[in-house]
Chains A and B, each alone.
Chain A
Amino acid sequence: MKVVKSLQIAIVAIAASCLALSASAQDNTLLGAGSTFVNPLFSKIFADYAAKTNVKVNYQSIGSGGGILQLTNKTVDFGGSDAPLNAEQAKKIGVPVLHVPMASGAVVITYNIPGVTAALNLTGKDIADIYLGKITKWNSPEIAATNKGVKLPDLGIVVVHRSDGSGTSYIFTDYLTKVNADWASKVGKATAVNWPAGLGGKGNDGVSGLVKQTPGAIGYVELIYALQNKMGFANIQNKSGKYITPSLESTTTASNVELPPNAEVSLTNTDAPKGYPISSFTWALIYKEQNYGDRSAARAKMLLQLLWYNIHDGQKNCVPLNYAPLSKSAVKVAEAILKSATYNGKAIL
């Protein structure tokens, strides 16, 4: 009997605690989710912001796809994404979504050629041909032509790409689509594509591990990752014909161009003369009309003030963490976008 009674009490207790735990989000905590790329930067910015204004931000780095899904389900205040919404995602959300650029990142080409320590000069078309499987040896005429003075061995090229879906792959394939018509028709651009050749590594560390271990390998990783792990990378020819060394400065310069007002632009193959051609924004996504669900005007204002801080004072956290800060024209466009967010049709900021 005692056992039965204690079981009953236990069941009632569990039911009561389940009801109590389903409390809604607290009033001074904003919720965000999405890109893993921007997670270290966001952690630092949000920690500083909480110390300054007592507004906490809970950001879960579940990947760009996850962030967009949570924004669609209206469980978060903002999503972080390395790629703008595609047509299907935009249709699912149904209402306008603002893309606010937060920082820039770049993708570098790293390689492992025994005996070659200099930074190679590569054109976009050649990189695409390598990834298509058309150029198969390091001493082929195309690569030798752009690298006079470097002794390239007669070694087969081992292509390494990402095996998981990722924003880095999106940026890379977006660039290849722009510079090589063959790639555009055969493969296309996406977070995961049908790679014509090569091995897949999981994550930036998988790709860099494979490249480091395999003589003759070529792979693409994020700039931050390459800088932190002191990897050698290639100079890529940009649209103006110059060979640009990937760095934080050249990545920021890539966004110093005429940007469309909605900032849903791809920065790859940028027009900026000194910009690195494989760069991209990372965006924070918010609903344009902030009165949805049962959001209060105060919460909407808190969110917009947070994002305003991100694009101004928050930018000083970028360089120490190896992110490329927004250029001046990018900040101007981001300000205009934030000012266009409304609550019940009225501007908030």
Chain B
Amino acid sequence: MLFFAFSFLLSAFRANIFITMSVKNKRLDLSYSQMKWETIFKRILIVMSVVMLLLVIGTLATLIVKSMPTIKSLGIGYLWGKIWDPVNNVYGARPFLIGTLLTSFTAIIISTPFSYAVAIYLGEYNTKGWLSNLLKNTVELIAAVPSIIYGFWAFFVLVPVVRTFEAKIGVAPYGVGVFSASLVLAVMVIPYAASLGTSLIRMVPSPLKEGAYALGATRFEVIRSVILPFTRSGLFAGILLSLGRALGETMAVTILIGNTSAIGNTFKDVFFGPGNTMASVIANEFSEADHDLYYSALIELGLVLFFVTVIINLIGKKIITKYTNK
């Protein structure tokens, strides 16, 4: 990359010498240098975008190559295998897939009403003023707090509360589990949808809203029939952003999820009992993976997580285009 930039700049320098050696025309010189800058700028942008693309493709290629041993020996059964046994080299991703999807989607379901409420309030009801700024900054602060702090806070404060709750409803009172992890994830992903939603709702053109008010609509009717349809795709993109964050969250989840690959049988057991997610397993076991098959099983888990994220993003984008082309 360095070599490419260096040689490109060298050729630009040589071009400049050639031009100044020809007929001196100040006006022509200025526009030549401007054009040269335009070209340099455009090329830098293209190079950086290509580097980004290469990074993603390179990551995918590395994941596939390094997980070849388990792909060859376990095949497609890896995706729904229930057992994760490093001693006998039997690996299966099903408990972790279920854990990841369950925690992420539960977090989204819990957090969406809150993020939409914050977005509508800050975008429509209270757009300026000290309370609005305070609320906006507090919501953004939620995103700024490191996730491990959420994990530890929840471990000492939330888990005992969930434990007494579980004792009341009659499941095993562990405290840690899918439910606690989902609650904390929900808190952590609120700011992503809320910030995006606030900006979009504030950008709804006033003539649209004033037209509705002029026709006698109430505030709620304006929000429901003018603002929300206008910002629908953007708000959904905010949800997708939150979902992407929730899928990949590692540290807070690994403290709260109970870290077991034996999942229960009834929905109640699965939801309130301990589980495990793909990111949490990789973070926990990667540094001490002492044989090749174990190592490549973990990398294949990373590959599965990568594909799950890509597929969910593609489905999300399809839903957005379907909405905006209605």
Compute how far the CA of A12 lies from the CA of B10 in the bound complex, rounded to whole angstroms: 12
A247 CB–B CB distance under 8 Å: no
Docked-complex contact B255 and A202, CB < 8 angstroms: yes
CB distance from B161 to the nearest CB of A (A): 12
**B279 CB to nearest chain A CB (Å):** 13
A55 on interface, CB distance cutoff 8 Å? no
Given A188-B88, A199-B274, CB of A4 within 8 Å of CB of B284: no
A200→B176 CA distance, assembly (Å): 10
Chain B 251-264 near chain A by CB (<8 Å), digits 1 or 0: 00011001111100
A213 to B160, CA, bound (A): 8
Closest Cβ of chain A: how far from B216's Cβ, in Å? 58
Asked if A297 is at the interface (CB within 8 A of a chain B CB), the reply is no
Are A194 and B259 interface neighbours, CB within 8 A? no
Q: In the complex, what distance in Å separates the CA atom of A223 from the CA atom of B33?
A: 72
Known: A4-B13, A11-B6, A192-B86. A163 touches B254 (CB 8 A): yes
- Bound together, the chains give a CA A165 to CA B254 distance in angstroms of 14
Distance, CA A345 to CA B176, complexed state (A): 57
Chain B 265-297 against A: per-residue CB contact (8 Å), 1 yes, 0 no? 000000000101000100011011111101000
- Is residue A64 contacting chain B, with contact meaning CB distance below 8 A? yes
**A15 CB-CB contact with B under 8 Å:** yes
Closest to A165 in B: B288
Asked whether, in the complex, the Cβ of A206 is within 8 Å of the Cβ of B87, the reply is no
Contact yes or no, B288 A192, CB < 8 A: yes
* A15-B2 CB under 8 A given contacts A194-B84, A199-B176, A199-B274: yes
CB of A88 within 8 A of CB of B174, answer no
Using a Cβ–Cβ cut-off of 8 Å, how many residues does chain B contribute to the interface with A?
43
- CA of A210 to CA of B16, assembled, Å: 69
**Given A158-B174, A198-B260, is A163 in contact with B284 using a C-beta cutoff of 8 Å?**
yes
Asked whether B5 is an interface residue with its Cβ less than 8 Å from the other chain, the reply is yes
Q: Decide: B87 and A187 in contact? CB cutoff 8 A.
A: yes
Instruction: Assess whether A88 is in contact with B288, with CB atoms less than 8 Å apart.
Output: no
Counting CB contacts under 8 A, is B191 at the interface? no
In the assembled complex, the CB of B73 is this many whole angstroms from the nearest CB of chain A, namely: 15
- CB of A144 to closest CB in B, whole Å: 23
Which residues from chain B contact A190 at a C-beta distance below 8 Å?
A: 86-87, 290
Is A14 on the interface with B (CB-CB < 8 A)? yes
What residue of chain B has the Cβ atom nearest to residue A187's Cβ? B87
CB-defined contacts of B2 to chain A, threshold 8 Å:
11, 14-15
Question: A166 with B160: in contact, given A190-B86, A199-B260 (CB under 8 Å)?
Answer: no
B86 cross-chain contacts in A, Cβ below 8 A? 190, 192-194
The residues of A that contact B255 with a CB separation of less than 8 Å are 202, 206
**In the assembled complex, B9 has its CB within 8 A of some CB on chain A:** yes
A194 CB contacts on chain B under 8 angstroms: 83-88, 261
Q: How far, in Å, is B69 (CB) from chain A's closest CB?
A: 12
* Closest chain A residue, CB of each to CB of B251: A202
Q: How far is the CA of A14 from the CA of B6 in the complex (A)?
A: 11
**A:293-349 near B, CB below 8 Å:** none
Chain A 1-25 interface mask (CB, 8 Å, partner B; 1/0)? 1001101100110110000000000
> In the complex, what distance in Å separates the CA atom of A6 from the CA atom of B290?
49
- When chains A and B are docked, how far (Å) is the Cα of A182 from the Cα of B83? 18
Any A CB within 8 A of the CB of B155: yes
Kindly identify, within residues 149 to 169 of chain B, every residue whose CB is under 8 Å from any CB belonging to chain A. 155-156, 159-160, 163
A64 to B2, CA, bound (A): 37
Q: Does B197 contact A (CB under 8 A)?
A: no
Chain A, residues 171-209, CB within 8 Å of chain B (1/0): the string is 000000000000000011111111111111110001001
**How distant is the Cα of A17 from the Cα of B9 in the complex, in angstroms?**
20
Asked whether, in the complex, the Cβ of A65 is within 8 Å of the Cβ of B13, the reply is: no
In the assembly, what is the distance between CA of A301 and CA of B5, in Å? 47
Docked CA distance A202–B257 (Å): 11
Q: Is A63 an interface residue when CB atoms closer than 8 A count as contact?
A: yes
User: Residues of B contacting A64 with CB < 8 Å?
Assistant: 288
Complex formed: what's the CA distance from A65 to B274 in Å?
27
Q: A88 and B6 in contact (CB under 8 A), knowing A163-B254, A164-B284?
A: no
Distance of A226 from chain B, by nearest CB (Å): 20
Asked if A62 is at the interface (CB within 8 A of a chain B CB), the reply is yes
Residues B288 and A191 in contact, CB atoms below 8 Å apart: yes
Q: Identify the interface centre among A15, A65, A68: most chain B CB within 10 Å of its CB.
A: A65
* Nearest 3 A/B pairs, CB to CB: A200-B259, A165-B288, A163-B259
What are some 26 contacts across the A-B interface (CB < 8 A)? Answer: A1-B16, A4-B12, A8-B6, A11-B2, A11-B5, A11-B9, A66-B287, A89-B290, A158-B174, A164-B287, A166-B288, A188-B87, A190-B86, A192-B86, A192-B289, A192-B294, A193-B86, A194-B83, A194-B86, A194-B88, A194-B261, A198-B260, A199-B174, A199-B176, A202-B254, A213-B156
Q: Report which A residues bind B (CB closer than 8 A).
A: 1, 4-5, 7-8, 11-12, 14-15, 62-66, 68, 86, 88-89, 156, 158, 163-166, 187-202, 206, 209-210, 213-214
